[in-house]
Amino acid sequence: MVGKEWRFYSSEDDRDWVILSNSDRAETKEDIYSINQKESVMRMYRRPGDFVSVSLLSASYEIDDVTGKLGQERDFYFKMECLQDGWASISSQVYKKEEALTLASLFIGLRKDAAIKLWKLKKLGEKNLGDRIEK
**Would you say residue 26 lies in a domain?**
yes
* Domain total of the chain: 2
Instruction: For residue 119, give the DSSP letter.
Output: H
Same domain, 113 and 63: yes
C-alpha neighbours within 13 Å on the C-beta side of residue 98: 0
pLDDT (average), residues 37-65: 94
Same domain, 69 and 22: no
Query: Please, are residues 92 and 129 in contact by the beta-carbon 8 Å criterion?
Result: no
Query: What's the rounded Cα separation, in Å, for the pair 79 and 8?
Result: 26
Query: What's the rounded Cα separation, in Å, for the pair 72 and 86?
Result: 28
Look up the pTM and report it. 0.81
Residues 6+ apart with CB under 8 A from 70: 60, 61, 62, 63
Using 50, 70 and 90 to split pLDDT, how confident is the model at 82?
very high
Domain range for 21 is: 4-46
Same domain, 87 and 30: no
Query: What's the rounded Cα separation, in Å, for the pair 123 and 91?
Result: 9
* Share of residues in the chain with pLDDT > 90 (%): 75
**Would you say residue 133 lies in a domain?**
no
* Share of residues in the chain with pLDDT > 70 (%): 100
Residue 14 has pLDDT above 90, yes or no: no
pLDDT (average), residues 54-79: 92
Query: End of a domain among 30, 46, 62?
Result: 46
